[in-house]
Amino acid sequence: MLFRAFAKINLGLKVLNKRADGFHNIETFFQQIDLHDDIAIEPTSDGRIHLTCSDKDCPTDAGNLAFRAAAMLKKYLNAPSLGCRIHIEKRIPMGGGLGGGSSDAATTILALNTLWGASLPPTQITELAAGLGSDVAFFTIGGLALGTGRGEKLLPIDDKISYTGILVYPGIHISTPWAYKNLNLSLTNSDKIGKFIDFIRELGRFDQWQSRLPNDLEAPVFRVHRSLQNIVAELYSAGAFYARMSGSGSSLYGLFDTPGKAEAAQSLLKNRRQAKLFIPIYR
């Protein structure tokens, strides 16, 4: 069977502090978008997990989150005879801050929960997914959600906010651990700590997004990659009401209140060949 694993963008990302376990407490709005990988999954009874991928740089063993997701669910179900064949057709850029690997993993868990006849409830699926990575839990619920903790504590938001986005992937791989390591927490505007949840009621006020939804990881990344900061400025110049780096980068996006404005802006960008239109998707 064929399944779609959708990407996400981070609408702002506030880094609050570093935890004893080495992770950071954050606040962010996760937003699922219509860019997606295609995943073909076939259940087998040979007890093995076979994974292939269209991208030669994509691991096909335990280095792949989707592989680990299948192995984790198999172990949790205590069913040694269960197996599967997984093929991932990659469209979400790897290392771009769009959650492609995490989405592949969540989609694999959701699919195998049905294909293997496990029928675990959604809350249990999300709890299992959180053990694989900070973003994986979000992709089991999708849509729009506030993420706190290390990103695994989720508050689903039912509002359906309409806009069209431009996504630019400049082809630079940013290591998430590097971005956090090089973040100066003393400069992350502590007065805004804990404010994302207060902004939920005002998400329809596009004029407030730029000031209310910062991405703290832009500072260390833009210091090294000034070209990324220039792309954000270019998106604003083209008429975006909000433009940010997604997660730890290097993907950047600009949001426009009408499809026509987004299409017009896309034609103006220097990186227009790397720019793709997208829309948010909701549960």
pLDDT, tens digit (0-9, with 9 covering 90-100), for 28-48 = 999 999 999 999 999 999 999
Secondary structure of the chain in HEC code, one letter for each residue:
CEEEEEEEEEEEEEEEEECCCCCEEEEEEEEEEEEEEEEEEEEECCCCEEEEECCCCCCCCCCCHHHHHHHHHHHHCCCCCCEEEEEEECCCCCCCCCCHHHHHHHHHHHHHHHHCCCCCCHHHHHHHHHCCCCCHHHHHHCCEEEEECCCCEEEEECCCCCCEEEEECCCCCCCHHHHHHCCCHHHCCHHHCCCHHHHHHHCCCHHHHHHHCCECCHHHHHHHCHHHHHHHHHHHHCCCCEEEECCCCCCEEEEECCHHHHHHHHHHCCCHHHEEEECECCC
Q: Reply yes or no on whether 135 is catalytic.
A: yes
pLDDT tens per residue, range 227-266: 999 999 999 999 999 999 999 999 999 999 999 999 999 9
pLDDT tens per residue, range 67-99: 999 999 999 999 999 999 999 999 999 989 999
Instruction: Indicate whether 55 pLDDT > 60.
Output: yes
pLDDT tens per residue, range 122-171: 999 999 999 998 899 999 999 999 999 999 999 999 999 999 999 999 98
Least confident of 114-128, 171-185, 218-232: 171-185
pLDDT at residue 137, as a whole number: 96
Which is the catalytic residue, given 37, 135, 192, 261? Answer: 135
Question: Environment class of residue 49 by beta-carbon count within 10 Å: exposed (0-12), middle (13-18) or buried (19+)?
Answer: buried
pLDDT tens per residue, range 119-134: 999 999 999 999 998 8
pLDDT at residue 283, as a whole number: 87
Instruction: Indicate whether 193 pLDDT > 60.
Output: no
pTM: 0.94
Instruction: Indicate whether 191 pLDDT > 60.
Output: no
- Which one-letter amino acid corresponds to residue 69? A
- The domains found in the chain, sorted by start residue, are 2-157 (3.30.230.10), 164-278 (3.30.70.890)
pLDDT at residue 189, as a whole number: 57
pLDDT at residue 194, as a whole number: 59
